[in-house]
Structures are given as C-alpha cells and as structure tokens.
Structure 1
Amino acid sequence: MTHHQSFTDRAHAAARMYAEEHKAGKLSRREFLTRATALGVAAPAAYGLIGLTAPTPALAQDKPMGGTLRMQMETLALKDPRLFDWSEMGNFARGWLEYLVEYEPDGSLRGMLLESWEANEDASQFTLHVRPGATWNNGDAFTADDVIFNLERWCDGTVEGNSMATRMAQLMDPETSMVREGAIEKVDDQTVVLNLSAPDISIIVNMADYPASIVHPSYDGGDPSDNPIGTGPYLPEENQVGVRQVLVKNTDHSWWGTEVYGGPYLDRIEYIDYGTDPSAIVSAVESEEIDATYQSQGDFIEIFDSLGWEKSEAITASTLVMRFNQDSEPYGVKEVRNAILMAVDNAVVLELGYNDLGTVAENHHVCPIHPEYAELPPMTVDPEAAMALLEEAGHADTEFDLISIDDDWQAASCDAVAAQMRDAGMNVKRTVLPGSTFWNDWLKYPFSATEWNMRPLGVQILNLAYRTGASWNETAFSNEEFDALLDEANGIADAEARSEVMAKLETIMQEQGVTIQPYWRSLYRHFRPGVLGAEMHPTFEHHHYKWAVES
C-alpha cells in the first residue's frame, strides 16, 4: 500500500464513522460534510456515505454567456491579503486571487488550486496535491513552490495583523513566530506535505477563509490590484474606494477552471457603494441601478420582497459581538463585565435589533450548528443583581460608551443593549460612527460592536478571536486555562469528544464575561429575476465564476 492510499483509506474510515454519527442524529448534514471533506474525502463520496447524491453544478451550456452583474457592496481599500479583515476586500480580490480550497454552501470543501488532500489518522499530517494545469494569468505554471511560498507568508507571525498566522500555528516555531523547520515538505512539483506540531482538524478549512488568497511569488505586499497577477478569471478594471470596484473577464488568458467547473460566464462585475443606509439601496433597486444586494437586512427584507426580487437565505453562524476591551478601564474588571452581561436579555436584542431573523446566542461565540457545540444551562438575566454587582465593583456611576457603526441592524442591536443597561440603572452613552471612521480603529475601542462571519468550526472562531495574542483578539482576553483547553480541542477530530472540552471553553467565556454575543443571524440577499448562481453564501463568499445573468 502506498503512502497516498494509506492516507486516503484513513480519511474514508473516519468519514464512515462520521456518517454513522449523522445517521444516528448526532451530526447535521452540514457538519458531516465539513468534517469529511476537511480530511480529504471528495464531496460526491461524502454524500454517498450518507445515501445521497451530490448536487450537480450547472454546466456551461446551462447558463448564458456574457453580460454585466451590478451588486451593491461597500468598496474598501485593499492591502496584503493576509491582512484582510473584511469580507468585502476578499470578494473584490477574489476575481483574480483564488484559494487552495473553497467552502461550498452545503458545508463541503472542494479543491480549487489544490486538486485534493489527505490527512493521516490523527490529523497531524496533511498531503496536498496541486491542481494539474492551473496557471497564473502571466503564463507561469502553478506549482508546489507557489503553495509553499504562500504557506510561509501565512506563517510569518512577525507581520502585524496577519491573522493567517493564528490559523497556521501548528506549522510555526513559537520561538521565532515563523514557519518551523521541517513543517512544510516539498515532495515534487505537485505535492506538499504539512507536518503539524500537534493535530489540527481546522487547517484545511482555514485555507478557505477570505485572508487566504493565493498570491504570486512576485507580489510585493502592496495593493494587489496594482499588479494583478493571479490565477482567477477576472481582472480589476476600476478600484475607487467608497465608490465603485469593477472586475472584467480576462480575455487574454484562458482560465484553468473552465474545464473543471465551467464558467466564467459574466463579462463584467460592478460593485457599487451606497454606504450603510439601506434606504439608499432600496432607491438603487427602484431605479434599476443594481441587480443584487450584498446582503438584505432588517425591515428592508420585506421591502425588497415587495419589489418582486428573488430572495436567497443562508442559515449561518454569523453574528454581532458587543465586546469589552479588557486593556481599557473599567472593562479589565471582571465584575463590571459580568454585571453588564447580567443586565442584557439576548432575546430582546434579537427581536429589536434583527427583527427576530435568527436564533438567540449564549455569549460564548460557539453556535449550535458547529459540530462541537455544547449546550450549557440557561443564562441568568437579573437587572437588579447586575446593578448591585456594579456598585460592589465601585462603578455604579461610571459612564459606559457603546460604539457601533451606523449600519441599520448593528446600530439597532446596540441600542437594544444600551436600553437594557439603562433600565438596570447604568449610565450609558451611545456613539454611532460612519464606516470610514469605525474601520480605522475597530480593534481598539473600549466597548464596541463588531460583525463576525461564520466559520465552519467553533474552534476556528475561538482561535481567531479569543486566544491570547491573536491578531483579531479585539477583547484582549488572555486566559492560560482557556488557551490550553483550546489546544486540546484543536487536536480532537471526533466532534462528540471535542464538545466535552468545548463545554469548558464556553463556560470560561460566560464566567469571564468576555462578550455580549446575543444572536446568530440568518443572512439574506435579494436579486432581480434573471440573476443566476449568486445566492447568499453562508460566509459571504463571492464565487464569480458561477455567476451569470439572463438578458
């Protein structure tokens, strides 16, 4: 038996075990597909293990060629992709910068610049197989050297804001904050082996996240649209921050993916920025300036419905987090954080802030749709006890300034939190900032709200947002017990066993009062009849090569 066959057999054995858990009702279909495909089982085979046939993607002849799709979206300045901190950045750059793997709406992972991959039995070693025939738009072949170049960039923890370093921790040397010697092994031009320092079930899933864009070895670290060498089918034609970003089909270079996945169909994609006021987007729809929304929110969902547009819904673990920066007083005091949490009923925040279009969350940022979610006892909401605790901490008269962006649903959610705090007797100020101001310092505010996208695994979120020193740790939360438990959870492939550790992690989050994390959002997108393939993705991804329009 070859090394490749051994890995494949182990992956399928693990997938068969997961399939039995799914049939027993312990795993949802989405959870099963994510876990099985992350280990290297192809989606059709994974579906077969649970007695289903994988959905068949539309072929080229099933979609019309040509045309323009205009989508409303905030257009943000680009930077080094590993520093991307908003999905909108990744979605524009996705026209020419692709990914090793792609997260599908059904929860499965499929190869893009990787054709396939396999994990060993304990997910401590992964073998990556480069896509044959993939090419850069300058004519260079895409090879294992390009994969290694990007992996080494991701593993550079000395670069401030590089969130990929958090995701690649098991490939890094903690002493140097760089890639560890022997962690990445080139077998040949089409094969790379990753030797992890500890098991990590999330490493392939992390390669699908939006900061994991694959750049050419000539990339110099600036705005990637300035010299758009990539492997994708489009090129940037216009990049006006706050106004418009435009992608056009690259007619000078054939896209490698056409023979594999079909497409691209559109000639042109325009992202148009109308700011954060949903009424401006409604006006754009009524005047036929756009063909699709980036996302539809709150009361405006019914308005778009009434205009005759089609609606796409995605059930996700996307959320809004009102977090305390523990490096800022008085939020370094645990009793202050606990008091504020005790004053807030999350169900009220969901109702008033997001029109009940989701499910109530539990202040620990792990969702019931995550495979390792652990159910905890109900939280206590007690405004009188909250104020008593605040008085005991010596902060009864302290003013709390809750900062949010001027986005409709985020501002409304923060208003609901502030109102409940005031009802408890707390002194609360609300500050609402335009996006251009808010985004400049989003990691630094003492008490503010941040939108968080879904990640397929609960451990991914905790690694990114709450591990000591993580580049996206906006709470400044640092807890040795939490970090150690998270290390343990990362190495447990079985979700049921991992949930036992997750229960401890969730409990620490609640007891330490790390965040108000009130609800899980359902996501919506509207588009005019005739728009094809642009349904809402659970992690906001735009797969441009799937999009088409009927005339």
Structure 2
Amino acid sequence: MTRSASRGPLHPAAGLYAREVREGRLSRREFLTRATALGVSVPSAYALIGLDTPAAAQPAMQEGGTLRIESTVKALKDPRSYDWPQMSNFTRGWLEYLVEYNRDGSFRGILLDSWEVNEDATEYLLNLRPDVTWNNGEPFTAEDVAYNIRRWAERNVEGNSMASRVSSLIDDETGEAREGAIEVVDDLTVRLTLDTPDITLIAGFSDYPAAIVPQGFSGNPLDNPVGTGPYMPETFEVGVRAVMVKNPDHEWWGKGVIGEAALDRIEYIDFGTDQASIVAAADSGEVDMLYESLGDFIEILDGIGWVKSEAVTANTLVIRANQQAEVDGETPYADVRVRRALALAVDNAVCLSLGYSDRGTVAENHHVCPIHPEYADIGPSEFDPEAAAALMAEAGMADYEHELISIDDDWRRNTSDAVAAQLRDAGIKVRRTILPGATFWNDWAKYPFSTTDWAQRPLGVQVLALAYRSGEPWNESGFASEEFDAALAEALSIADADTRRQTMERLETIMRDEGVVIQPYWRSTYRHYREGVVGAEQHPTFEIHVYKLGLAA
C-alpha cells in the first residue's frame, strides 16, 4: 500500500504525471484529477508541479444572512437513487460527502481526511477525518462509512445507481457487498478490497448520489434529517420552494476546517424552465443567484450587471435510440443499421450552432470528452445523409415515422428540433413530441427515441460505466455488448490514463460503430449571481457547495 503525501511516499504514478506536466504533455487540470484520485493531497499535488496551492480568492464574508437561489425543486428520494443534481444541492445542507470534486479538477476529502490506493487499484484505505459528529451529537465513525458503502452495493434496489460505481465490491450472486470487501480497521479507518482493479472509486464517491446518510436511514432525507452538515431543512414544496436554515443545535465540525457555512438561511426557488421568467426574477431582485444561465439570456444577465461564471465542461446531451424499447410490438432500434442511419443524418456542428449558440465544442458520438484524461482522438463523426437514407431503406424502415421526445426547455428542445430537421432533410420521417419537465423525467430512461442531458464525470470510464455498461440503471440506450463490457472492465483496471487511452480508443470505436448515441457537443456552462454573493461560481457538475456560500462583508 502506498501512502498519500501527508502520510508517507507518493503513489508511484504521481511523479510520472508531474513530469508530464512539466514537459507540456499533460494539462494541470488532468494532472490534479489523476494525482488526487490516487490519494495525493491537493497541496502536495500543486507542490509536485512547482505551484503554491491557490489561496481562496474570496472576500471576507459576513456572518449570517439569507441567499435566494433559482433552481428547480425536485421531489427527494433515497440519495443513492438521485438522478438529478438539484436534489443533492438541497440535501447537501445536512448530508455531506466523503470526497468533493472541485472546479480545478481536484478531489479533496470532506468526511475523509485522506485515502491510500495500492499500485494496481485493488485496495483502498479510507482515513476518516477525526472529530466529525452527526447533528444528533453522535461521533461519525468507520462503521458509518461501511454502512453507506454496503447500501451503495445493493444492486437489486431499484434506481440505485451507486451500485454502478462500486461494482468491484459486489458479489454477483447475491447482488450485495462481497464478504470481506469492506473492512472496518478501527474507528477512523476502512479498508476496501476489490475483486477487480477500479481507478474510478474515489471519483464515484464524489458524485451527487453518494451523500452519506446515518445508520438506520429510512430512505427519506426529510424524515428525521440526521446528518453531519451545518444546515437543516425548514420547508420543502416540490416545484415551488425549498428552504434550509442554520442548525442552532449543532456545532458544525467543519467550521474553520473546510469552510465557514456563514449563511443563516438558503432558499431554492423554482421558476420553471422558462428562461424569460428566470431572468425577470433576477432583474427584479427576487433571487440572488441562478442555477444555470442559458442561451441568449446570458447577454441579458450580463447587461443587468450580474457576475458571470463560466465552466468549460464535459456536460452534454445525447440523442439516443433505446435498443430494447418496443413500439407497436416491434423493437425498431435493435437494428444497428437504423441507429447508424440516424447518426449519419446529423451534422453535430449544426446542432451546436442551432441548439446551443456555439457555446461549446463539437463532439464525436462516443461520450468521451477531450478534457477526460483518457480521451482518444478517433476523428470526427461521419455526416452522410445519402448513406443514412440508404441504410434506413436497407433496414426496411424507409417509411417508418420516428418520434423524437424531448423536454420543453431552451437548449435541449432547440437541439432536438435541429436533429429532427436534419433527419427530415435526409428523407427520414420524424415527428417531435415536447413534454414538460415534470412529465419527461418520470420516464426519462424508457422512451424509444429521446434526448437526455448528462452532467460531466471526472473520468471518461465513469461515464461509460454509468450509461452504457449492460444492465445498469442509467443505461437509457438499452445497449448491451459483451465486447464493450470486457473492454470497459480492462479500462477500469488501468491506473495510468495514457495506457488506458489505448483501450478507450476501442471503446469509443464500438460506441460509434454500434450507433449507440448521437452526442453532438460539449457545452460550456454559465451561472450568474449578483455582486456581493460569495462562493457561487459555476461548478462543472452543477454542484452547489452550500458551506462555501456567503455574503460579502
């Protein structure tokens, strides 16, 4: 077992990565993601590349105050089955995380003080932060961590996407954690023993469904809200408003350790998906901060004098055919020719222009981004409308009318319209169905042909494991391939991203050859907030770290 910088020798790969940065072959962001995932502390990672850890460039904050955030207020459920970041942004007030993913690409411990990973990523030692307490006064211990990881490993619980993230700990026969996979070493230490190497485990612990709940958790975060964080829920009304307030009965362990939690009250206010209404609320002073600024309204928000924060991300959307979905007793998208025809008919650059006003970069139909450490450049996706029409005819689907379903909002609706128009230009019949958000998200994974947005994950292999591995809860494309699964298992076992890139090239090629998705662009994302709000910068995965928020003194 190799130890983090604060506890002993660095992981062997860290020095290699640092040299690649110095030689200009690796970006600083990629380096921070790789090194900190392997247990190198953030200060040590910066020191390896000859830099000081960036100081928190925040103005002094006043103690107290209220912050109003525009955000969809979605119904809550068991966090391990969260399927939307807004759910977690509210419960972050009292349900904290083992690890946090930050804007610079680094991972830092929250409830974990540090972690140690062996050279082949088959053993992880999790070192808890000392002196953390639950808001009921009980100490936070290794037993609590083990309890949560065991819950995440319950593969048969409907909607539990965390099982995808800890699959290397699961017994395939029982669908639960393997005997001996999770060991409580002492009150502050947990050892994880994997059956196969997995370099994504720490990144998975930072994802929004990985909120840490107390032992005996009922499944409802609002029912007896015990947590380790500084806030408590006050009111919660789906589609209207959710309010959290500073917990007067809990001295938060993290004050002065990881942050301040300066605010007394945080309100999330739901104005729906109409950007005009959201901008009007900002202009009239009804809110202080937006979840996300979109489209032409970005310039309007600039014009009212609000601060704009941008994140270059691997956030995207996919237009996918569900290979297992039945339509009138048939499975039209089980035929690879149909899927490839749909992809050949679409020019991704047109989707970026018409759907997202060119605020991003063109993608290549395989859902691995150039900012992912293991990205392999296999060239642009092919655009050939004539070949698309010929393939559709060869599949006997020339007269078939496809129904493309999307949510009724700005960029996803516009992108779907651009796709539908191009399909029609290629002679492929398509009709559009646009659903309100409350309806769309009820069955988002089941539609035969639809558009879904996906948040960034720090590693490309994470995305592929969550969205395209056979049988996973979030596999909305219904894609199932033994060849793909085997290559993905190989990629997950390779700690060095440069070596992993060779396998990633194979995975990306399979995705394109199988026509799994049309994935047209990577989008930069934006958030506006009024002057004087502190800690509100846009996060690559839309996280709102509530303990960082405050009002300038």
Task: Please classify the TM superposition score into its range, dividing by the shorter chain length.
Answer: over 0.9
Would you say 1:304 and 2:301 are equivalent positions? yes
Say which of 207, 210, 215 aligns to 2:213: 215
Residue 251 (structure 1) aligns with: 248
Where 1:318 maps in the other structure, the secondary structure is: strand
Residue 19 (structure 1) aligns with: 18
Deviation (angstroms), 1:10: 5.6
- Equivalent-residue separation in structure 1 for 2:9 and 2:205 (angstroms): 21
Residue 181 (structure 1) aligns with: 179
Deviation (angstroms), 1:262: 2.9
- Equivalent-residue separation in structure 2 for 1:416 and 1:481 (angstroms): 33
Of 257-266 and 465-474, the range deviating more from structure 2:
257-266
Residue 31 (structure 2) aligns with: 32
- Equivalent-residue separation in structure 2 for 1:25 and 1:432 (angstroms): 46
Residues 8 and 40, structure 1, Cα contact 8 Å, conserved in 2: no
Residues 10 and 121, structure 1, Cα contact 8 Å, conserved in 2: no
- Equivalent-residue separation in structure 2 for 1:67 and 1:405 (angstroms): 35
Would you say 1:544 and 2:543 are equivalent positions? no
Deviation (angstroms), 1:238: 0.8
Letter in 1 for 2:453: E
Residue 262 (structure 1) aligns with: 259
- Equivalent-residue separation in structure 2 for 1:127 and 1:394 (angstroms): 55
Residues 260 and 548, structure 2, Cα contact 8 Å, conserved in 1: yes
Say which of 338, 341, 344 aligns to 2:340: 338
Question: Where does 1:454-469 land on structure 2 (aligned, <5 Å)?
Answer: 454-469=456-471
Question: Where does 1:1-400 land on structure 2 (aligned, <5 Å)?
Answer: 9=8, 11-57=10-56, 62-221=60-219, 223-328=220-325, 329-400=331-402
Deviation (angstroms), 1:58: 5.9
Letter in 1 for 2:116: E
Deviation (angstroms), 1:182: 0.9
- Equivalent-residue separation in structure 1 for 2:4 and 2:236 (angstroms): 47
Tell me the TM-score normalised to structure 2 length.
0.97
Change (3 A) 1:187 1:373: same
Residues 11 and 121, structure 1, Cα contact 8 Å, conserved in 2: no
Residue 434 (structure 1) aligns with: 436
Q: Percent identity?
A: 61
Deviation (angstroms), 1:6: 11
Residues 11 and 36, structure 1, Cα contact 8 Å, conserved in 2: no
Letter in 1 for 2:187: D
- Equivalent-residue separation in structure 2 for 1:10 and 1:483 (angstroms): 34
- Equivalent-residue separation in structure 2 for 1:413 and 1:27 (angstroms): 33
Letter in 2 for 1:326: Q
Would you say 1:525 and 2:522 are equivalent positions? no
Residue 416 (structure 1) aligns with: 418
Residue 510 (structure 2) aligns with: 508
- Equivalent-residue separation in structure 2 for 1:295 and 1:23 (angstroms): 35
Would you say 1:443 and 2:442 are equivalent positions? no
Question: Where does 1:479-518 land on structure 2 (aligned, <5 Å)?
Answer: 479-518=481-520
Residues 99 and 213, structure 1, Cα contact 8 Å, conserved in 2: yes
Where 2:434 maps in the other structure, the secondary structure is: strand
Residues 2 and 10, structure 2, Cα contact 8 Å, conserved in 1: no
Residues 7 and 119, structure 1, Cα contact 8 Å, conserved in 2: no
Q: Deviations over 1:427-457 (max 9, x none)?
A: 1100110000001100100011111000000
Change (3 A) 1:143 1:150: same
Letter in 2 for 1:155: A
Letter in 2 for 1:273: D
Residue 328 (structure 2) aligns with: none
Where 1:370 maps in the other structure, the secondary structure is: coil
- Equivalent-residue separation in structure 2 for 1:204 and 1:496 (angstroms): 19
Letter in 1 for 2:244: L
Residues 33 and 107, structure 2, Cα contact 8 Å, conserved in 1: yes
Letter in 2 for 1:54: T
Of 137-146 and 223-232, the range deviating more from structure 2:
223-232
Where 1:311 maps in the other structure, the secondary structure is: strand
Letter in 2 for 1:457: L
Structure 1: 5+ residue stretches without partners? none
Deviation (angstroms), 1:8: 5.6
- Equivalent-residue separation in structure 1 for 2:491 and 2:305 (angstroms): 46
- Equivalent-residue separation in structure 2 for 1:4 and 1:105 (angstroms): 25
Q: Deviations over 1:43-92 (max 9, x none)?
A: 00000111111112368x92211111111100000000000000010111
Residues 11 and 118, structure 1, Cα contact 8 Å, conserved in 2: no
Letter in 1 for 2:77: K
- Equivalent-residue separation in structure 1 for 2:168 and 2:529 (angstroms): 42
Where 1:239 maps in the other structure, the secondary structure is: strand
- Equivalent-residue separation in structure 1 for 2:231 and 2:534 (angstroms): 18
- Equivalent-residue separation in structure 2 for 1:491 and 1:401 (angstroms): 39
Letter in 1 for 2:323: Q
Deviation (angstroms), 1:123: 1.2
Where 1:62 maps in the other structure, the secondary structure is: coil
- Equivalent-residue separation in structure 2 for 1:295 and 1:278 (angstroms): 10
Residues 314 and 522, structure 1, Cα contact 8 Å, conserved in 2: yes
- Equivalent-residue separation in structure 2 for 1:172 and 1:299 (angstroms): 47
Q: Which has more helix, going by share of residues?
A: 1
Where 2:361 maps in the other structure, the secondary structure is: strand
Letter in 1 for 2:442: N
Tell me the TM-score normalised to structure 1 length.
0.97
- Equivalent-residue separation in structure 1 for 2:2 and 2:538 (angstroms): 39
Where 2:528 maps in the other structure, the secondary structure is: strand
Residues 322 and 446, structure 2, Cα contact 8 Å, conserved in 1: yes
Of 375-384 and 263-272, the range deviating more from structure 2:
375-384
Change (3 A) 1:427 1:38: same
Where 2:290 maps in the other structure, the secondary structure is: coil
- Equivalent-residue separation in structure 2 for 1:476 and 1:550 (angstroms): 49
Where 2:280 maps in the other structure, the secondary structure is: helix
- Equivalent-residue separation in structure 2 for 1:12 and 1:325 (angstroms): 41
Letter in 1 for 2:465: N
Letter in 2 for 1:57: A
Deviation (angstroms), 1:4: 5.5
Question: How many pairs does the alignment contain?
Answer: 548
Change (3 A) 1:6 1:423: closer
Residues 7 and 120, structure 1, Cα contact 8 Å, conserved in 2: no
